[in-house]
Chain A
Amino acid sequence: MFKIIPFFIGIILLTSCAEEVDFNQANQIQISPTVELSLVYTQAEVNDFLVNGQEVVTTETDFIEVDIFNDQFINDNVTKVDLHFETENTLPREFQYAVNFYTETGNYLYTYSFSSLETSPHIATFEDDNLNIIKNTSILEFVISMLPGEALNSETQGAISLKSKGIFYFNIES
């Protein structure tokens, strides 16, 4: 009778086979998520360009420091970045936009520019060699310049707007 239990366990062990599995397949893992993130936006009306009803301001410029482009994970896994800008303009003047890319120490890298005359959206694609520009960028400078034309006054109607997002294409491998 004592033999029955070992026999029973033996039957289980003998019949419990395992078909071939290969755990090394985990090394082949490759996922390619695409992430989109809001970047900058701005909106300006006539008054933003006037001082005491006179047009004086023709260029607006400011900069932001961006850490996200230098993030190690992004740097290691990103394969392509699209910066996507949409412009709208109902003012009777055209505008030139420029986005300047600088390193952490302020070294100039690249400029992407577009104007309100061109069809929106404006898409800057960074891929292959170009991708290093994004990876090295720490400071983004935005410049909006009004192109020559009839002067604005407080009677002028309209506004300009800029909206943007960044689309990050990843390829994550083990």
Chain B
Amino acid sequence: MKHILWLLSFISVFCFSQNKQLLYGFSDIPQNLLLNPGANVNQSGHVGIPLLSHFHLNVGTSKVTVYDLFADNNIDFNTKLKSAIYGVKSKDFFTATQQLELFSGGFAFGPSFKKDKYISFGWYQETDFIAYIPRDYAILAYEGNVGNTNRVFNVGDLSFKSELISVLHLGFNKKVNDKFTYGIRGKIYSSVANVSSAANKGSIVTRVGDNNLLSHTFNLDMAVQTSGIASLINDDNSNFSEDISTLRKRLLFGGNLGLGLDLGFTYQIDKQWHVDGSLVDIGFISHKKDVENYELNGTYVYEGIDPLFPETDGETADSYWSEIEEEIEELFKVDTTATRYTTLRPVKLNASLNYSFGKKRLKDCDCLQENGGYINRVGAHLYAIKRPKSPQFALSAYYYRRLFNGLDAKATYTVDSYTFYNFGLGISTHIYGLNIYAMADNLLNFKNIYDARSVSLQFGINYIFNKNEN
């Protein structure tokens, strides 16, 4: 029990959404091409500083925070646990995403007077986790079935997915004309480890029985699929570092492979308005190696047994009871299979409408700078991600400003599954071609990090070749 609690608290610390509302459309940072391969490209080339070019961490919980459960106040822990259990819905979840770019780069090409194409590439590692809160299990464990006659406990409340993958990608961006830019990115996924249990169905119900006082109905159709995990658990060594080195080998094509695609565009409506949009991670991973699945299937109605006058003649009550015991054991017997399976990547949608304004006033001539572009931009950004139970959405409004030459900032206000008060801030500097950026959202929650519904951090360092330097 204690272990389960620790696991829960660990999960609740580790919780996300993958939304990168601060980075999206931040055209000064090359990694924004990973969110929209068809974004406007300002630079003529870039090189990510290996291992430092992009780090992203996003943890989130749609309901219960660490502080809700573990606050050191004088409220009894069990009271807090109770209000946590009864406060959640089965669509509430914990989530976490982490990304680390191992290397990245890109360059513009085309006719020397008009380099209108851009190739970008890289390799990053991603960990992704989502678990819905198994509310009905929690209530059944908390109350038991007494007083819950006829209540249908949904075993489908158990739903989680987790994976560790590496992604090798190559993207192409083309500025067709002054109005339209599109981009496409191909990805090869290598799944290091995957565990998924997202299609559970069935129920447990206690009813008033026909022959006896109670009738218990078990209707179970459950499965957990894993790849890349069985070999780590079942190997003879208990040496963790050996497992780590096995994992490392799988990062590059050593795991279960998959393919994916990102699409995106930018359309300049007029000088000040533009729209853009993207679909990211349209793809799948085919799990063939090191697969171990667990299945639980069956239906059983149990009313008890008749020891004295069983309907089947010539059978003792005990052998009759043994049969029932066997049937129940069979129902709860977990079948292990090695059937290959395919997982779909969580597809993400981004779309934004943007308005630029305010040209920079030059000191030396007291006139507006003509070619420097606008220094302010506001916009609205819609983000959606496909999740096992239902898509999750986030809507952001932002203000972007070029503060000085070489210092850009973006502030966002986001409404999502976690909170209605998500303020974020990101800045990006350019010094002699070196681009450093850092972003964080849910700034209000930094007052008490344990009470945060979600926290998202991103930072990185790139070297950028500017067009005007060539």
Contacts and interface: CB of A to CB of B under 8 A. Distances in A.
Contact of B427 (A5, A67, A168, A172): A5
Contacts of B9: 23, 26
Nearest to A39: B304
Contact of B144 (A28, A33, A44): A33
B2 A174 contact: yes
A34 B407 contact: no
A105 interface: no
Given A31-B81, A35-B146, A38-B216, 13 more contacts: A2-B429, A5-B427, A20-B72, A21-B70, A21-B71, A29-B77, A31-B142, A36-B146, A40-B307, A63-B307, A163-B209, A163-B213, A170-B144
Interface in A7-61: 8-9, 12, 15-23, 25-31, 33-44, 48, 60-61
Interface in B60-105: 66-67, 69-72, 76-78, 81
Residues of B in contact with A, size category: 35 or more
A interface, by DSSP: helix, strand, loop or mixed? strand
Interface in A118-174: 142, 144, 163-165, 167-168, 170, 172-174
A24 B308 CA distance: 52
Interface in B185-214: 206, 209, 211-214
A22 B5 contact: no
Interface majority SS on B: helix, strand, loop or mixed? mixed
Interface of B: 1-2, 5-6, 9, 66-67, 69-72, 76-78, 81, 140-147, 206, 209, 211-216, 302-309, 316-318, 321-322, 325, 406-407, 425, 427, 429, 431, 436-438, 440, 443, 446-451, 459
Contact of B303 (A8, A15, A41): A41
A65 interface: yes
Nearest to A25: B77
A42 to B, nearest CB: 4
Contacts of B72: 19-22, 25
Contacts of B69: 25
A86 interface: yes
A8 B321 CA distance: 70
A61 to B, nearest CB: 8
8 contacts: A2-B436, A12-B446, A20-B71, A20-B72, A30-B78, A42-B307, A62-B318, A165-B212
A143 to B, nearest CB: 9
